[in-house]
Amino acid sequence: MELARRILGPLRHGIEIGPAAFAPFPGVRAWNLEHPGARLFQETQRALSGRVAPIDLFATAERLPLRAGALDFVLASHVIEHMPDTIRALGEWDRVLRPGGILFLIVPHRERNMDAGRPCTELEHVLADHALGTSVASDSMVPTSHYHVWRTADFLALVEHLVRERFVAWRVHTVEDVDSRAGNGFTVVLEKLATPAPRAADPRAPVAFHLLAPLLPFQVPLRSLERVLLGPDLPRDPPLPRGRYRAAAIRGGFPPAVARSFELDVGPALPAPNLRAFRWEGLRVFFAGEHLDASTWLEATYPDGSRHPVLPERVGAELCVDLTGLAVPTAEFGVEALNPPPGGGRSAALRVSPPGGA
């Protein structure tokens, strides 16, 4: 990538977070930093290029074992979307840069990768994640997910907000709406101008919005369940699917702070669901029955005794689970449906034959 070579090539001390053997940056000298548990990504590198990028330092991207101001640059390509607390990660990368240092980011563009169709992440969602200290364990999405989804303008609006709130002192050096490396993201190059003084949250700031997510005992892939509702008070009937939610009231100002966290039941009570039929379309399985809702989740018990909870998609009156790319049992297995409160309950198990055996 010529842009990276031109901007970062002359600099001596820098790190690349999450390097990939199949997508190097020729002409850029960097120490390679990787998460100690990045086995899946290493397998992906080996499958695509036959090798794995050498690692100089193992650490988490949100807590770098480097002194403040130690680096000339931080390079992170397709990394920031994997950070549950975006602001914490950006703040940490800023911490290790010297004044005049460069933060070089390539970020997936919503319209040019697997996130197409997902809603863009609202600024309030990112602020709430920072206030809550959202982590890989506490986010509604499974680890390795794209926790947040942006277009170029959305991400620049986040940068502008952090600068305006004096969380960072950055100058936008260069922007590519279509990155010149792979073309599936955008490039944002930021120059650190100074180190702002840390600020404390205002405990008297009024509530500005609420973040709500369905209260589930498992994490989901490929979709974010959090919803932002603006204003100091929740409406009597929030515009959300029925179910039980974990809610957080977030104060205005910066840094954002949690005024209170609580659980909230939304919508009418439903009885326990009843599964009565299934059908396969390729590796997609559809379930029909009574009292099935957008908030109904399923739990499969495979022949080996393992249990697999999933939040299906509502398709008309049916619930759909797409098992493409997943291990599918070759023998009959059981599936139960569960409705969360208000009301709610668990169905009897429906016996499901594997695809081709129904």
With respect to residue 357, please indicate whether it lies within any of the assigned structural domains: no
Last residue of one domain, picked from the residues 236, 266, 296: 266
Is the domain of 247 the same as that of 278? no
Is the domain of 233 the same as that of 103? no
Residue the block writes with tokens 């600024």: 123
Is the domain of 82 the same as that of 30? yes
How far is the C-alpha of 169 from the C-alpha of 248, rounded, in Å?
29
With respect to residue 202, please indicate whether it lies within any of the assigned structural domains: no
Is the domain of 163 the same as that of 50? yes
With respect to residue 22, please indicate whether it lies within any of the assigned structural domains: yes
157: CATH? 3.40.50.150
Q: What is the pLDDT along the chain (358 residues), one digit of tens a residue?
A: 999 999 999 999 999 999 987 788 999 999 999 887 766 667 776 777 788 788 889 999 999 999 999 999 999 999 999 999 999 999 999 999 999 999 999 999 999 998 988 999 999 999 999 999 999 999 999 887 899 999 999 999 999 999 999 999 999 999 999 999 999 999 999 999 999 999 999 999 999 999 999 999 999 988 889 999 999 999 999 999 999 999 999 999 999 999 999 999 999 999 999 999 999 999 999 999 999 999 999 999 999 999 999 999 999 999 999 999 888 999 999 999 999 999 999 999 999 999 986 4
Is the domain of 238 the same as that of 149? no
How far is the C-alpha of 298 from the C-alpha of 339, rounded, in Å?
9
Last residue of one domain, picked from the residues 194, 220, 239: 194
With respect to residue 200, please indicate whether it lies within any of the assigned structural domains: no
With respect to residue 201, please indicate whether it lies within any of the assigned structural domains: no
Laid out side by side, the sheet with 318-322 consists of: 274-281, 284-290, 318-322, 313-315
pLDDT recorded at residue 186: 98
pTM: 0.92
Three-state DSSP at 89 gives helix
Q: Which residues contact 167 (CB under 8 A, 6 or more apart)?
A: 87, 91, 196, 199, 254, 255
With respect to residue 190, please indicate whether it lies within any of the assigned structural domains: yes
- Evaluated on CA atoms 266, 272, 275, 276, the torsion sign reads negative
Is the domain of 145 the same as that of 213? no
Is the domain of 52 the same as that of 139? yes
Last residue of one domain, picked from the residues 143, 160, 194: 194
Domain holding 104, by residue range, is 2-194
Is the domain of 173 the same as that of 219? no
283: CATH? 2.60.40.10
Residue the block writes with tokens 């990538």: 1
Is the domain of 143 the same as that of 248? no
With respect to residue 309, please indicate whether it lies within any of the assigned structural domains: yes
Domain count, the chain: 3
Is the domain of 347 the same as that of 226? no
Is the domain of 226 the same as that of 243? yes
pLDDT recorded at residue 41: 67
The residue type found at 323 is L
Is the domain of 24 the same as that of 136? yes
With respect to residue 45, please indicate whether it lies within any of the assigned structural domains: yes
Residue the block writes with tokens 């130690």: 70
